Amino acid sequence: MPDVEAINKYVVGWMQPIYWQEDPVTKRRLNGLGPKDFARVMAGYGCPECLAIFNTYLPVCPACQFRRDIQADVQNTPQHWLDHMDDLKGEAQGTPVSIDDFLREVAADKDIEQIKLA
């Protein structure tokens, strides 16, 4: 049974995974975290199992009793997750455009119907 007092004292929030999947061998849920949350787990300020965020380093999660073993609880990221993140980076690349410049581009595009407002 979780220690409610310890949870209230040490857990300050919960992380949201970017990806997750069940390990087919161990049946453990593997959580893919963003860089900030991944660093938090690596440093012992978060639980890789239930995704609790701690306000101090804890070797045992007060919420799910997960006991840290840095060699076992942090695994290499699956290649298809990395590939997807690379695809997302490619879509986001480009030169930032101000809203005024964007609207000028839209107004100059002959393929966009121009409707005058009253």
Could you read off the pLDDT of 24-62 as tens digits, one per residue?
888 888 899 999 999 999 888 999 999 999 999 998 999
Q: Kindly tell me if the per-residue pLDDT of 72 is higher than 60.
A: yes
Is it the case that residue 92 has pLDDT exceeding 60?
no
CA distances to 49, 102, 105 from 52, in Å: 8, 41, 46
**DSSP structure class, residue 28:** P
**Residue 1 clears pLDDT 90, i.e. is over it:** no
**Residue range 10-27, pLDDT digits in tens:** 999 999 999 999 988 888
Structure tokens at 1: 């049974």
When pLDDT is cut at 50, 70 and 90, the band that residue 69 belongs to is confident
Say if residue 100's pLDDT is above 90: no
